Amino acid sequence: MSETNETQLLEEEVNRLRRRVAELESRDITERKQAGQQVKRLQKLSELSVTLAGDPIDVFRRVAAMIGQLLDVRVVCLSEVRGDELHFTGLARTLVNLGCLGCLAL
């Protein structure tokens, strides 16, 4: 093998390794951001869970509101299966423009 071919092969290998390192660094940054977001959601959930006490219906409504707030969705429906039927136990509507939550009993 000529010296030129060996140099070319080495350059190609170095470039391949550089691309791989850049890919891994990018993935690591993304994973760290996602982990940070997960920690923030869990902290918020922990803060909100302190309010969960009392009447089970009220607790269901508050849980639905928490889910809506944590997942940033406008409507959350909680349901349970009783025998062959699906019963909705809580509904929360997130009032995004007002920055608050409204809960309805079903």
Give pLDDT tens digits for 25-78: 888 788 888 888 888 877 777 777 777 777 877 777 777 777 777 777 878 877
In angstroms, the CA 6 to CA 14 distance is 12
Task: Report d(CA 92, CA 98) in Å as an integer.
Answer: 14
Asked whether residue 27 falls in the same domain as residue 76, the answer is: no
Q: How far apart, in whole angstroms, are the C-alpha atoms of residue 26 and residue 51?
A: 39
Q: Based on the fold, state whether residues 46 and 71 are members of the same structural domain.
A: no
Give the Cα separation of 29 and 94 in Å (integer).
31
* 91 plus 76 within the same structural domain: yes
Predicted TM-score (pTM) of this structure: 0.42
Q: What secondary structure does DSSP assign to 31-99, as a single string? A: HHHHHHHHHHHHHHHHHHHTT--S-HHHHHHHHHHHHHHHHT-SEEEEEEEETTEEEEEEEEEEEGGGT
Domain housing 101: 53-106
| Domains: count for the chain | 2
Confidence of residue 94 (pLDDT cuts 50, 70, 90): low
- Indicate the pLDDT class of residue 1, thresholds 50, 70 and 90: low
